[in-house]
Amino acid sequence: MPRQPEHPDLDDVRLDRLFFALGDRARLRILSVLCDRAEHSREEFDVAVGPSTLSHHMKILREAGLTRHRYEGTHCRISLRTDTLARFPAALNGALEALAAEQYDEA
């Protein structure tokens, strides 16, 4: 775990990259857990993939600017980036609202 997880600057967050990050079932599943705006650890995203694949999806979400990764010892806490939500309020709040409405935690 690099001590600096490379969160992109808010100015570098692009709409197409955000949507791309949303365009995958596993990542939507992860986001449906993050919808409550709280911090979560990896065990709570019960996606049926291996640890390295989960890291891959986490990286895409983080590099898109959607999530923030905070390290507590060896554990990682993930949450939504509120600044990005504020930067693209319509798109992202709408997406999260749709996720909650669709019960994406079981599809």
Q: Does residue 26 belong to the site contacting DNA (CB under 7 A)?
A: yes
Q: Does residue 1 belong to the site contacting DNA (CB under 7 A)?
A: yes
Alpha-helix residue ranges (DSSP H) falling in the chain: 15-22, 25-34, 51-64, 82-87, 89-102
Q: How far is CA 15 from CA 5, 44, 50, 98, in A?
A: 21, 27, 28, 17
Integer Cα distance of 51 and 9 in angstroms: 26
- Contact region for DNA (CB under 7 A) — 7-15, 45-53, 86-94, 96-104? 45-53
Q: In terms of CB distance, is 77 or 87 closer to DNA?
A: 77
In the complex, what is the shortest distance from the CB of residue 52 to its own copies, in angstroms, rounded to a whole number?
21
- Of all helices (H) and strands (E), which one includes residue 68? strand 67-72
In the complex, what is the shortest distance from the CB of residue 100 to DNA, in angstroms, rounded to a whole number?
22
* Partner touching 93 among its own copies, DNA, none, CB below 5 to 8 Å by kind: its own copies
* Contact (CB, 8 A) for 88 and 18: yes
List of residues contacting DNA (CB under 7 A): 1-3, 5-6, 20, 23-24, 26, 41-42, 48-60, 69, 71-76
